[in-house]
Amino acid sequence: MTGPETIRLRAKKAKSPAHEDTVAIERGSFVRVLRAWRHGILPHELVHAAVEETFGWRGFVRLVAEGLDPEKIGARGAEAETLQAEALTNAYQSELWGLTPASDESLRALVAHELERHGIAVPEMTEERIGCCRRRLSDLSARWEGTAPGEVLEIRLAARGGV
Give the pLDDT score at 74. Answer: 72
**How does pLDDT run across 35-93, given as a tens digit for each residue?**
987 677 899 999 999 999 999 999 999 999 999 888 888 766 678 999 999 999 999 99
- SS3 track for the chain: CCCCCEEEEEEECCCCCCCCCEEEEEECCEEEEEECCCCCCCCHHHHHHHHHHHHCCCCHHHHHHCCCCHHHCCCCCCCHHHHHHHHHHHHHHHHHHCCCCCCHHHHHHHHHHHHHCCCCCCCCCCHHHHHHHHHHHHHHHHHHHCCCCCCEEEEEEECCCCC
Q: Which residue has the higher pLDDT, 137 or 17?
A: 137
Kindly report the pTM of this predicted structure.
0.91
